[in-house]
Structure formats: C-alpha cells, structure tokens
Amino acid sequence: MLYPIRQRLTLPLSLASLLLFVLFSVAYAADPPPDKSAAVRNFVDDAGAEPEIDWDAETGVPTFITGKFPADLSIQGQTNRVDQAHDFFNRYGNLFQMKNPTAELALINATDADGSHLRFQQMYKGIPVWGAQLLVHSQDGQLTAINGHYQPGIDLNPTPDLTAVQAETIARTHLGATQATLLANVELVVMTYHTEPAALTWLVQLATNEPLGRWLYFIDTHTGGITYNFNNLPHVRNRQIYDANGACSTSSLPGSLVAIEATGGTLPAGPAKDAFDYSGAAYDYYLSQFGRDSYDGSGAPIITSVKFGTAGTCNSSAFNAFWNGAQMVFGSGGGSYNHFAKAEDVVVHEFTHAVTEYTAGLIYQFEQGALNESMSDIFGVFAQQRSTGDFNDWELGEDLNVVFRDMSDPTLYGQPAHMSNYNELGWVDDNGGVHTNSGIPNKAAYLMVTGGTSGKITATAIGLSKMEQIFYRALTNYLSPLSGFNDIKNSTIQACQDLIGSFGITFADCNQVQNAWAAVGLGSAALTASTKVYLPVLINGTGGATDAFIYEPNDDVSQAYGPLSSGVTYWAYLQTNGDVDIYHFTTSGGFIDISLSSLPSGTNYDLELYNNAGQLVGVSYNSGTTDDSISGTAPAGKYYIYISPTTTASSTTDSYQLAVTYP
C-alpha cells in the first residue's frame, strides 16, 4: 500500500496545539495501555521529562521504569529511602492499579547496606502474592528506577475454607510419594502465576527422591483443587563435606561427615577432595569478585554431599547434581561419567543456584527457570575460566567426560541462540525448557565478553571483568522471582549504567550490553556515531527489488522521531520540497548543541528548534549546503527539531547528518 507523504506544518500556533495533544503520549519501550494515559501524564508533568517504561502485555502495568523522577521525591531532611519509596507509590500507584500502596507493599529487605536498593513484597489483605515483588532503586538520594512484577486487579475471599493440614494431604496424595518430606510450614498465599483468575491457595512444599524433586503445590483454599504445581529443584544434568555412600534417598542426606574446613586439605584424591576444593573455589570466586561471603552473603556454611545415588539402581540420583535449598548434592556418576563433583564449573553452577535463591529468588520454570539456569551457567563457566586461566573455555561439564552446554554456540547441544528459536515447551518437559532456552541469555553473555555478530547485529567485547560485575548487580539488585528474559535485558543495561565509572565501565560498554541482547533477539541495537540509522521506510508498490522508496513520513509532531540519543549521529533523507523531518529529545537542563551537516549537493536545508510549548527558541538558516547548528543553555524539558528544505529540492539518494548533545 502506498502511504501519502504529509505536508509540513508551517504555523507555530498549529505546532503548539498539536504539542498539547501529543504530550499525552510519550515514548516508551512499549506502548502504555490506553487507560494509563492520565497516570503517565501526571508522572511526566511532575518530573518534567519522559520516563522510559516497559509495560507487561498481560497485566498492563509497568515492569521497568527508568529516567528522570520528580525532584521532590528526593531524600530530604529526615526522609529515609523506605519513606521515599512509599511516597512514590502513594503518588503514582495508579500506574500499577494500586488501591492502597502502604497496605499492598511490605518491605522484604535492602539489597545494599545503604538501602539504595529496596525489595518489596506485594500483599493482598495481609497475604503475600506469590512471586510478586517490586524493587526501588536510588542513587545519592534520587530515585533512578522501579522494576519488578505487580499483579493488579486481585479480588477474592481472603478467608480459607480448607485447613493447612487438609491442603498438605491433597498435595501428598497427588504426588503419590509416601516418603515426601515437608520442607517448610504450609503457607497461605495468593496465586496469580499462570492462574486466571487469582486464587487464594495453601503453598505446600515437598521433597521427594523418586522422582527427585522439590515440589511446590498451590491448593485452592475454597475448592481443594490443585491450582498449580511444579518441581522447583535446580539441577545440571566454614566447608562441610559428607559421603552419601551411594544412597538413593534424600532422607539420608547429608550422609557421613568426612571433612570440615580444618581437615579438608588432607583428603585423598577423589569425590570428597574435589567437592572440598571446588566448593572452596566457588566461595573464593564470589568473595574475591563481588565481596559476597558465602551464598547467603552472611557466611553460611557450605554443606556438600558426594557419591549420591548408585548407577543402575537410582540413575536419577547418580547422574545428577543439585541444590536442595540447604546443601549441594553431587551424584556418583558411573560408566563413562565421572562423579559429578569432578567439574569445577558444575560445582560453581550449583553454588550459584543458592546465590540466586538468596537474592532474586528466580523460580525454576519456563523463562524464569531458563534464566535461573543461565545465571548458574554464566558464573560457573566464568569462575572456572578464572581458576584455570583458559578464557576460551565456554563448555559446561567437560570434566565429567560429557559436555552439557556451550555458551559460545548453544546450538551445538540442542539449545536456541536466538529468541526466534525459543522453544515453547509444556511444564512437564524440562520444567518448560529451563535447560533448553537458557542458551539464549548464555549466548548474549558470551557476546558481551568476546564480541561477535549474531542476527546481523554486532556487539563489541567489553571483557569478562566488566560483564561479571554487571550480571552480578543485575542478579542481586534488579531481578525478582518472576523475572524473565526481557527483565534480565533491562536489568543488565540499568546495572551497567549504575556502574559507569567503576570497574572501568563506560557508557560505550552499556551500548554493547544492549547490542548483545539485540543480537539474540531481545530489544534493538544501541545507536552509535558509527552506525547509520535511517528512519522508517515505506515501500511503493509490491515490495519488489525495483520498487521506489519513500522515506520516513515524520512530517508532523505526532510522528516526530525519537527520543534522540545524546552524542549519536543520525542519517536521514528529505524527499521533496514539501517534506519535513521532525525529531524530539528531552533534556534535564544545561548546554545543548545541535549540528546539521553533510547536506546533499545542490540543497539548502533549514534547522529550527521548538520547545514543548510550541515556541521557536532557536534557528539556523545558513544558505546552500553550509552546515547548520544551534547551541546554548536550555531549561529542562522536551524539544522538537525541525529540518526542512527551502527553495532547493532535496535528495533521496544522499543523506544528511544530524547530531544533538544534551545533559
């Protein structure tokens, strides 16, 4: 279909009237739901700038908010960070459809000692909403980001008809394992994950040996039905080392104590010695790289059992390794397989599952579980690289005489390396593909470290040291139980920006983090001065190779392109005398510089700058192909750049260059 090019708006009054309308719809990573326009407008009016918001397509509420926050939300006087967070939600809770933010959010913890990262649990009438958490981030007293998963519109009877004991009986009967162990007190929770409508449930957590599992059952407190259930046991296929002596039952764990911290160094070669050495390597890795004292950050003892299971008798135990919520367990192996504590990357992988449980709490299913697996793969491989000095080793598990995965090329072992190949698996198949789809974030992590091209997008290497810090910060400060792939993309980009100036991390590094995610199909590539970015193209005719092209119909304010990134050069065309290109950007206030250069031969373009009230605040009307520029100090706000030809026809074969720098 051929779309006509719109004519230029020539009257400032027309621009002003349109601006008043357009400001109701600001730029986001995804479009806001229609009923959020007033809430967004209030936020924009108070902040004086556009936020960047990712919206959850299912719930219609934000999952990530960054950008400029209202100045009066900064910490002042006796205000503390918790009060600041409550103030934000009291004022803008309608973005999330909150009715009573104070009652609906309970502080879980501060992930940094100074309280600059706060984690809140969503509550419904005093009952936790399972997996639903919001994180509030600040720096130097100013809010910098809000992210997480909030479940709006819950309306249910909060009084259970079923007792906790009855719920446990229902779960045990369904599981069919008479020796199942109750792992925690049965807890009343509101369940929304894969549940419509929300249900009041009893959460029953059971551990079994055959099949090996850490089962979560959500029993409807009114009907007795099983609302949802799944296996949340992560596995790959002061230290305390135990020998399980081939036992098949988790009830026998940890087994016989064979070494503690003081005696482990004298162990003979074998599974116990490997477990002692590599669990120590895991501890040392997290302490030296991130200052983390054991998996819980508070010096918890590292309990490890080896020689679990017997090949041919209980293979699911013998050929396995897992973190069960209290300790690491490594199978005996057998046949061509070495024992499962033989591989350092596997041991650190399991240790990282413990770190994840004590930080983000990622559940072990679907995208969340694949991300959980990926975090363990990433830190397991990197810890081994640092230990061995082999920074080209991207395989996981090779010391077991089998390779499970390869981060440099996940497709070698049946994993996708791009979102276009994401495997939509049911929950009974590998917990929804946790060991399959983890290849996608694994590949992104590899590209960040080494650089490379995937899906026609190139990422430049930022190196192991920078990438580790970015992922660790994302895991501990930004991810929550229901975080998926889009969340880790946003979290690592934000974590990178937080760390600019530390560990040698620069703004350019953050662009490469974004590029690596774009290369695996998550988001778009960053714009850089070396990248030619042409505005949207409409094809005239059927789309064949000989069809003519009509470029970027951004001819009025409603189609303004942006926001432009500071310091980035853009290439675009003006097609006819009547064409006009309009761009927008938002500054926090200060010195701005706009440059229009490389004008096509035989043309003459004008450069104009309008503020968000439609007032002309800057012009450059140089004749011919002379470069145009506008510079000076400007107050905070949104601005529109106009580029238009005068009496000379434009060009569809030669582009101009536009760049703007602003604070």
* Torsion, CA 126, CA 200, CA 480, CA 25, rounded to 10: -90
The answer to whether residue 358 scores a pLDDT higher than 80 is yes
Q: Which of 535, 530, 536, 498 is nearest to 515 (CA)?
A: 530
Per DSSP, 410 falls in state G
Distance, in Å, from the CA atom of 474 to the CA atom of 488, rounded to the nearest integer, reads 7
Residue with more model confidence, 71 or 323: 323
Return the number of other C-beta atoms located less than 10 Å from residue 655's C-beta: 18
Which neighbouring-strand residues pair with 241? Answer: 259, 304
Q: Is the pLDDT of residue 18 over 50?
A: no
* Contact between 390 and 464 (Cβ < 8 Å): no
**Helix, coil or strand: residue 112:** coil
Q: What is the mean pLDDT of residues 162-183?
A: 89
Distances in Å between the Cα of 123 and the Cα atoms of 61, 100, 135, 361, 488 are: 16, 10, 14, 17, 24
Q: What is the pLDDT of residues 431-453, one digit of tens each?
A: 888 999 999 999 999 999 999 99
Nearest of 145, 150, 30 to residue 97 by alpha carbon: 150
pLDDT in tens, 610-655: 887 777 778 787 777 778 888 877 788 888 888 887 766 667 677 7
Q: Does 20 score more than 50 pLDDT?
A: no
Candidates 36, 52, 31, 18; CA nearest to 612 is 18
pLDDT number for residue 388:
93
Cis peptide before 268 (omega within 30 of 0): no
Element (H, E) at 619: strand 616-620
Residue whose entry in the numeric block shows the structure tokens 């988790």: 250
Mean of pLDDT over the chain: 83
State the pLDDT confidence band at 412, using cuts at 50, 70 and 90: very high
Identify whether the C-beta of residue 579 lies closer than 8 Å to the C-beta of residue 644: yes
Least confident of 223-227, 373-377, 519-523, 580-584: 580-584
Name which of 18-27, 79-88, 389-398 the model is least confident about. 18-27
Question: What one-character DSSP code corresponds to residue 267?
Answer: P
**Which H or E run includes 305?**
strand 303-308
Cα angle vertex 257, ends 256, 261, to 5°? 165
Greatest mean pLDDT among 148-152, 569-573, 623-627 lies in 148-152
- For every residue of 198-266, DSSP letters joined together read -EEEEEEEEEETTTTEEEEEEEETTT--EEEEEE---EE---EEEE-TT---GGGTT-EEEEETTTGGG
Question: 416 pairs with which residues across the strands?
Answer: none
**By C-alpha distance, which of 274, 279, 242 is closest to 257?**
242
| Rounded CA separation 72/596 (Å) | 37
Most confident of 56-60, 74-78, 497-501, 608-612: 497-501
User: The tokens 């005239």 sit on which residue?
Assistant: 540
Q: What is the pLDDT of residue 48?
A: 80
> Quick one: residue 623, left, alpha or beta (phi over 0 = left, psi -120 to 50 = alpha)?
beta
The CA angle 585-57-562, to the nearest 5 degrees, is 10
- Which of these, 90, 89, 115, 92, lies nearest to 46 by C-alpha position? 92
Please tell me which residue, 3 or 426, carries the higher pLDDT value: 426
Which band of pLDDT confidence, cut at 50, 70 and 90, is reported for residue 387?
A: very high
What tokens appear for 249 in the block?
A: 């039952």
Q: What was the pLDDT predicted at 77?
A: 57
Q: Which of 62-66, 128-132, 384-388 bottoms out in mean pLDDT, i.e. has the lowest?
A: 62-66
Distant-in-sequence, close-in-space partners of 223: CB < 8 Å, separation ≥ 6: none
> In the prediction, which pLDDT does 604 show?
81
CA distance 188 to 402: 43
Query: What is the spatial distance between Cα 484 and Cα 345, in angstroms, rounded to a whole number?
Result: 24
- Choose which CATH entry (1.10.150.120, 3.30.565.10, 2.60.120.380, 1.10.3720.10) describes domain 537-661: 2.60.120.380
**What are the residue numbers of the active site?**
350, 435
Cα dist from 392 to 230, 382, 446, 450, 463, whole Å: 36, 10, 10, 9, 12
**What was the pLDDT predicted at 194?**
86
Q: What are the structural domain ranges in the chain? A: 46-148, 164-231, 362-526, 537-661
Res 114 pLDDT > 80: no
Question: Could you read off the pLDDT of 260-318 as tens digits, one per residue?
Answer: 888 998 999 999 999 999 999 999 999 989 989 899 888 888 999 999 999 989 888 89
Three-state DSSP class for 316?
helix
Query: What is the rounded distance in angstroms from the CA atom of residue 101 to the CA atom of residue 85?
Result: 10
The mean pLDDT value for 420-427 works out to 83
Q: Which fold has domain 46-148?
A: TATA-Binding Protein (3.30.310)
Q: At what angle do helices 366-388 and 271-290 cross, to 10 degrees?
A: 100
Would you state the pLDDT for residue 577?
64
Instruction: For domain 164-231, give the CATH number.
Output: 3.10.450
Mean of pLDDT values over 408-417? 94
Q: What is residue 575's predicted lDDT score, i.e. its pLDDT? A: 66
Please return the burial class of 370, using the count of CB atoms within 10 Å of its CB with bins 0-12, 13-18 and 19+: buried
Task: Please name which of 369, 111, 334, 362 lies closest in space to residue 236, comparing C-alpha atoms.
Answer: 369
User: Residue 8 — very low, low, confident or very high, per pLDDT cuts 50/70/90?
Assistant: very low
Distance in angstroms (rounded) separating the CA atoms of residues 555 and 562: 13
- Going by pLDDT thresholds of 50, 70 and 90, the confidence category of residue 578 is low
Q: Is 76 exposed, middle or buried (0-12, 13-18, 19+ CB in 10 A)?
A: exposed
pLDDT-based confidence at residue 19 (cuts at 50, 70, 90): very low
List the helix and strand counts (H, then E) for the chain. Answer: 14, 31
Q: What is the dihedral of CA 147, 662, 562, 483, to 10 degrees?
A: -10
Percent of the chain scored above 90 by pLDDT? 46
Q: What is the mean pLDDT of the segment spanning 107-113?
A: 76
pLDDT at position 179 is: 76
Considering 370-384, 495-509, 588-602, the range whose residues carry the highest mean pLDDT is 370-384
SS3 state at 358: helix
* pLDDT level of residue 25 (50, 70, 90 thresholds): very low
CA distances from 478 to 116, 204, 286 (A): 12, 27, 18
Residue 160 dihedral angles phi and psi, to the nearest 5°? -75, 145
Which of the four CATH numbers 1.20.140.10, 3.40.50.20, 1.10.390.10, 3.40.50.2300 does domain 362-526 have? 1.10.390.10
Task: Identify the pLDDT of residue 385.
Answer: 95
Residue count of the chain: 663
How far does Cα 82 stand from its chain's mean position?
A: 23
Would you state the pLDDT for residue 379?
A: 97
Mean pLDDT of 332-358: 94
Q: 270-274, 425-429, 581-585: which range is least confident on average?
A: 425-429
Q: What are phi and psi of 519, to 5 degrees?
A: -65, -25
**Mean pLDDT, range 139-154, rounded to an integer:** 89
| H or E stretch covering 130 | strand 127-139
Weakest-pLDDT range from 29-33, 57-61, 481-485: 29-33
519-554 per-position pLDDT tens digit: 999 988 775 543 433 343 333 333 333 333 333 555
Confidence band of 21 (pLDDT split at 50, 70, 90)? very low
Phi first, then psi: give them for residue 480, nearest 5 degrees.
Answer: -140, 175
pLDDT at position 5 is 23
Question: 46-148 with 362-526: one CATH topology?
Answer: no
pLDDT band at 558 (very low <50, low <70, confident <90, very high): low
